Amino acid sequence: MAKLRGPHLHTPLTLLGSDRDALSRIDPAMIAPGEDARYLITRAGEAALDEGEDGSLRLALETEDPRRGAHEPLVLLGRRDGLRILGVEVTEPSAELDDPGRDLRDLRRVAEMLEPADSDLALTAVAMGAWHRSMRYCPLCGQGLEAEVGGWVLRCREDGSEHFPRTDAAVIMAVRDGEDRLLLARNANFRGRFHSVLAGFVEPGESLESAVAREVAEEVGLKVEEVEYVGSQPWPFPRSLMIGYRAWVPGAVELTLQEDEIAEARWFTREELAAALAAEEVELPNNASLGRALIDDWYGGPAEA
């Protein structure tokens, strides 16, 4: 496994070293049935899991191909212990496909409870499943697409064009002021007390650092003077890559909110955040998110009531 250098923040979804066996994807035999094949079932961000008696979770890898229709292509996720791991996105609920014994759980809520190797496979599976679910027809001519290269390429039956999985880059940043306070905001679409750091998608022709500065200026009216990259993690719900930064603005600055985007925002000292959490005035992101890692990084440890 490669080692990370620099000010990197680790989260349960920041993983290295998975054996994706990408060079084998061109071999059609890699997605053929066989004793060494194991199938991971996903559906709309959920993955099939087994729960142990102690409450621990692990991937539920099946030995039989569970597909019942042509719209469920296999995806070669990689290898584990000499086994081929194949992802299958179940697209429609049905009595046949929804085995009562299959436990499908929202990966956003349980990813941090999985071992890193399981989490890595599951994240890839739900990302690829979302892509296959949304890409049924060629965007150039409207004809049907066929999966190739272990499920990692879709080719148009009519014009032969190739289409590849899409990943949307998004920056997420812990903004601090001259008094080392942290800015937390509640997005207009967030539920109740949920607050987090700012984030936004990178625009075409834009650098990551420029995206940080632009998003902060647009959402809260602040001018970022300095940024520091701290790490990235996949967030395949459905297809994002989160790129994390620390960001600093000069002095103690007033906020000008983008009202259709930000419902409220305020600066917090560490003592103020602890008090707000204890009073249940603020709810933070879960431990699987890079946003929470950025908050805990500033706080100096887990920010808990």
CATH number at residue 284: 3.90.79.10
Q: What are phi and psi of 165, to 5 degrees?
A: -60, 145
Determine, yes or no, domain membership for 91. Answer: yes
Beta bridge partners of 39: 62, 86
Do 190 and 120 fall within a single domain?
no
pLDDT at 78: 95
pLDDT computed for residue 251 by the predictor: 80
- In a shared domain, residues 291 and 189: yes
Q: Which domain-ending residue is among 81, 114, 136?
A: 136
106 and 217 share one domain: no
DSSP β-ladder status, 168-176 and 198-201: antiparallel
> What local confidence, expressed as pLDDT, does residue 182 receive?
98
Are 132 and 172 in a shared domain?
A: no
Does residue 189 lie in a domain region?
A: yes
Query: Number of structural domains, the chain?
Result: 2
> Is the domain of 94 the same as that of 187?
no
Residue ending a domain, choose from 115, 136, 157: 136
Same domain flag for 125 and 246: no
Quick check: is 149 in a domain?
Answer: no
**What angle in degrees, to the nearest 10, is found between the helix axes of 290-299 and 270-278?**
120
- Please give the pLDDT value at position 198: 98
Of 94, 115, 136, the last residue of a domain is 136
**The pLDDT of residue 8:** 75
Structural domain span for residue 285 = 168-299
**Residues whose CB falls within 8 Å of the CB of residue 73, separated by 6 or more in sequence, listed in order:** 132, 147, 151
Q: Can you give the pLDDT at residue 253?
A: 76
Whether 15 is covered by a domain: the verdict is no
Angle at 289 between CA 133 and CA 52, to 5 degrees: 80
Instruction: Assess whether 220 and 264 both reside in one domain.
Output: yes
Residue 1's pLDDT is what? 43
From the list 200, 124, 203, 118, the residue with the least C-alpha distance to 165 is 124
Task: Identify whether 41 is part of a domain.
Answer: yes
Q: Is residue 199 part of a domain?
A: yes
**Which CATH number fits the domain that encloses residue 106?**
3.90.79
Residue 119 lies in a domain: yes
Q: Among candidates 240, 275, 264, 244, which has minimal Cα distance to 190?
A: 264
Residue 289 and residue 178 share a domain: yes
pLDDT along the chain (305 residues), means of 10: 62 74 96 96 94 92 82 91 94 56 88 89 95 94 96 97 97 96 93 93 97 97 95 93 95 87 96 96 93 96 84
Asked if residue 262 is part of any domain, the answer here is yes
User: Do 62 and 185 have their domain in common?
Assistant: no
Residue 124 and residue 59 in one domain: yes
**Does residue 117 sit in the same domain as residue 180?**
no
One domain, residues 127 and 173: no
